[in-house]
Amino acid sequence: MFVDEVKIFVQAGKGGNGAVAFRREKFVPNGGPAGGDGGKGGSVIFEVDPGLNTLMDFRHQKHYRAQDGEPGGTNNMYGRDGEDIIVRVPPGTIVRSEQGELIADLTQPGQRAVIARGGRGGKGNSHFASSRHRAPRVAERGQAGEALWVTLELNLLADVGLVGFPNAGKSTLISVISAAKPKIADYPFTTLVPNLGVVSQYGEPFVVADVPGLIEGAHQGQGLGDTFLRHLNRTRVLLHLVDMDPQNGHDPVNDFRIIRHELEAFSPDLAARPRLIVATKMDVLGSQENLQRLQDYVAPLKVWPISSLTREGVDALMWEVRKILDETPKPVFQKPEPVIKPVVRGFSLEPCEEGVRVVGDVEERAGMTLWGNRDAEEYFLEYLRRRGLENLLRRQQIPDGSAVMVGEGTFYWREGELVLE
């Protein structure tokens, strides 16, 4: 089954907690702090695997989680870092955030991108020793790893794209010029998924993509819609195939006009690519009259008549494609804009049912506080006082006895002072 768009959840590992530990040495107060730092959490990394050509595996597994870092140990022993998780994706995979921002465009074999970064490990109590606190019992909790939903889109890597109505001869042509074996039958929409073929007998090899046929209103979801046209976004040349068979009930001029409109509606950039107009099925009786009508309509543009059945005109067409490819630069793949996260400076109070909640730059520090450790909570309380939280509470006239919440912690405002219960 061919799958070219999925939504998955990725979560990096949490950093390990720092340790509270002391050495057992003579003349060293309380043995001296010797708690080690926690290990870094593992990251979620996407890697291009050239052996894949679909996102099918992601239909069955939608959650990917890297390993957490291990906590620090005694004697300043660092915790082990969590292992990264490597997620393999096919070439041409585009990774976007829920907001549609480009995170990565993965095209080259072996190319990697870090999609979710692991959290840093918490500091052990040896980092908190000072002249005033010779034997601190304070350590940090490990930082949470990044977690987000991402959308994966597969844009096949092809040099040449085939477009046209259903049964215009796209699948037959790609089967003749390459080793691809698409389904070929005399009814509409025999091609339900994109097919790729490597053409190697016309100079340097190039890749041709055959996408399911379009009909009028495809950009509005008619037929199979324009879902698969994204696979032509990276192509350098388009072959617009028009059926010349007079018995198919179609007007070739009208067919040409409709497909051109659908391309322009889908992507003006794609419609502006170098394009060859190809008249197919020239072995059918009466096809010459349709060819002349199409040629008159598109003049002065050239129409390339071919018959995939007899191979008449196919070689000349492919050599022309080879010439255009040599003259057309390869596409520049998308580079994600650097994500500049806004720097939050300062903090403010927001009312809540129990009292007020402190929001702002102190929340990150709160997230790494080892809640449940009285010394760590008091250490964080001193930090809040130094930052001027008590002054802010006085200025905003917060009622006595109100709860003051920061992250997972809760303090209380009593008689003009911030306290722990």
Binding residues for Mg(2+): 171, 191
Cβ atoms of residues 143 and 368 within 8 Å: yes
User: SS3 of 222, please?
Assistant: coil
Q: What is the DSSP letter of 395?
A: H
In the numeric block, the tokens 């949490």 are attached to 14
Cβ atoms of residues 179 and 155 within 8 Å: no
CA distance 244 to 278: 10
List the one residue out of 133, 129, 136, 130 whose CA is nearest residue 20. 136
* Residue 171 CA: distances (Å) to CA of 27, 53, 193, 317, 375: 85, 19, 11, 16, 72
List the one residue out of 191, 270, 175, 184 whose CA is nearest residue 231. 270
Binding residues for GTP: 164-171, 189-193, 210-213, 280-283, 307-309
Burial of 343 (0-12, 13-18, 19+ CB in 10 A): exposed
Binding residues: 164-171, 189-193, 210-213, 280-283, 307-309
User: SS3 of 341, please?
Assistant: coil
In the numeric block, the tokens 């130094």 are attached to 386
